[in-house]
A and B are shown apart, each in its own frame.
Chain A
Amino acid sequence: MSVLEGINSKALKTGDLPPPSPSPNTFRIYSMRFCPAAQRALIYASVKKIPSEVININLQQKPDWYFTKNYKGQVPTLEHAEGKKLVIESAVIPEYLDDIFPETKILPSDPYEKVQQKLLLERLSDQLTPAFGRVFRAIKNPEELKEKFESILKAFEEAESLLEGAFYSGTSSPGFVDYLIYPSFQRVYWLTFLLEIFPLPSDNFPGPGYPKLSQWFKAITAIPEVAAASQSTENGVGSCKEYMKGLPYFDYGL
């Protein structure tokens, strides 16, 4: 039973009325179903079992009132304390949730180990997140694709080498890095269905060249709390196709 309510609610857009302030003790996460940064916040809240209501925002036709929640109009935004507390930035929200719910803390308590997790996440994100975007934007230019593929493969080589055990947490259970980097890997996984010439396979993604990563991806995907906070492959791939056609995709599959 997922603690996230409304993860597939229709995206609010220009002209839609603002939702009422969240009731006391209710956490609200403003999201977009296919945004990897917002997915990080959703996964963290899900794994920490924080009951949250999810409100999706149409990022191409943002409601005016949404800029009072997040001055950049981006997602995710965490709102609670009857709307009096707003926390933005996908890098800030997870630590904030660990601070206010220490009983389900995911980050290590040891200062050095905690720092290592944050640095590891930045190293992986620096390579993976832009790699997906570059490939996605180059889809209509086959001559550019090969070069973009190489940057993805390089990112995966580094990701494989940085994975020393079963998880990036360095323990027998997934941790901070595993949960927060997963959306970036999932996006590349979706590419394997979108592009026939993509150099990584869909089956046992990312394939025999990355044995540890393949086990890792399979394990994280199978975690119920992660699945509850993530979109299905069918919806993810479909939304990308809509995007490539220039069609609105926020409510794809609903």
Chain B
Amino acid sequence: MVLPGNCSTSAALCMQFLTQLASVAIDQAYQPPQQPAYNPHEKLFVSYRSVPPPGSSPSSAAVPIRFSSYSSVGSNIRGLNSPTLHPGSIEPPLTPGNYRLYSMRFCPYAQRVLIYLAKKNIPVEVVNVNPDRSPNWYLPKSPIGRVPALEINGKVVWESNVIVEYLDELFPTNTILPRDAYEKAHQKILVERLSPIMNALFEFYGSSNNPQAQRQNDMNVHSALRNSENLLRDTFYGGRQPGYADYLMWPFLERLQLLTMSPNSQFRYFPGLHYPKIGAYIARMQNQPEVLGFCKHDFFLKKTGEKIW
């Protein structure tokens, strides 16, 4: 079984509801603040708005920026919250030699690629498109208009798991997948073994509100968490440092935390006392700089938790 690596219609429908409500919440978040102090995560969103529009910035070389203590992780990514392009929009021009990621702000598969790009510090421009009703110019780039898709010099690659491996091959000096063949295969197998997290997330959002379905969903989540707890044998699934499996699964685990806001779930705390390793793991992942820049959890809880359910 090959895991889905993109937001197709079914996945986008899962996210559509969140998208609409979260977009409203985010717009509100950009109102002039009534209090001088920002939530640390809100600052990250605000800081991206201050990035000059792509057309006015000089072309950047399509090579990783050498690490500098003055540049924060994620500063290589422009346009993270650019307005979504719908049918009728005009294709933004792409400068030769520059990378572009076609994304949707709340797509967990696109988030995989963003985390990878931030970790590898690859300069990239993000263009958000509507995956359910794609602009006509986008359809030749990606089958059925799915996101994410990575483009450079007219070449387009899609499927999140394929894109990230492609990035590791293009920029091998800071590869995330292990170089050892067996360890590399094992990381891919781990993503497959952790996939109940993904399934539990989609089943939760896709199911009805009747009590029987709710109990089944909670059971699925417990089963997925037990499995994840058993498979975590080091600080991260990648070993002492986060790796491929961590980055590919994190967007789904992050969203699963929203269960605690739902009246349809018995989860009041996530992951709860029965999964101590996963609880500690979540805290560690939330503090990884390449993950922090794209954190949805606190933002969701703060801005959308009261409106979604």
Contacts and interface: CB of A to CB of B under 8 A. Distances in A.
Contacts of B193: 71
Contacts of A111: 166, 169-170
Given A96-B185, A115-B162, A119-B158, A125 B169 contact: no
B182 A125 contact: no
Contacts of B157: 112, 115, 119
B169 A122 contact: no
Given A111-B170, A114-B169, A122-B159, A89 B181 contact: no
B1 interface: yes
A99 B162 contact: no
A88 B193 CA distance: 11
A118 B165 CA distance: 11
B143 interface: yes
A123 interface: yes
B182 A89 contact: no
A88 B189 contact: yes
B159 A87 contact: no
A119 B142 CA distance: 11
B155 interface: yes
Interface string B159-172: 10010011001100
Contact of B2 (A88, A100, A122): A122
A244 interface: no
A227 interface: no
A99 B157 CA distance: 22
Contacts of A99: 181, 184-185
Contacts, number: 50
Nearest to B150: A115
- How extensive is the interface on chain B, given as a class? 20 to 34
B159 A119 contact: yes
A84 B151 CA distance: 40
Contacts of B143: 123
A91 interface: yes
A247 interface: no
B192 interface: yes
A254 interface: no
Nearest to A84: B182
A245 interface: no
A112 B157 CA distance: 8
- Residue of A87, A93, A111, A125 contacting most chain B CB atoms (<10 Å): A111
A17 interface: no
Contact of A89 (B158, B170, B192): B192
A85 interface: yes
A17 B181 CA distance: 31
B180 to A, nearest CB: 9
Interface in A120-143: 122-123, 125
A194 B186 CA distance: 40
A87 B170 CA distance: 25
Contact of B182 (A71, A85, A88, A91): A85
A108 B220 CA distance: 40
A184 B193 CA distance: 25
A99 B14 CA distance: 37
Nearest to B182: A85
Contact of A92 (B155, B166, B170, B185): B185
Contacts of B155: 112
Nearest to B193: A71
Contact of A87 (B2, B165, B182): B182
B105 to A, nearest CB: 24
25 contacts: A85-B182, A87-B185, A88-B189, A88-B192, A89-B1, A89-B188, A89-B189, A91-B188, A92-B185, A92-B189, A93-B185, A96-B185, A99-B181, A99-B184, A100-B181, A100-B182, A111-B169, A111-B170, A115-B157, A115-B162, A118-B159, A119-B158, A119-B162, A122-B159, A125-B2
Interface of A: 71, 85, 87-89, 91-93, 95-96, 99-100, 111-112, 114-115, 118-119, 122-123, 125
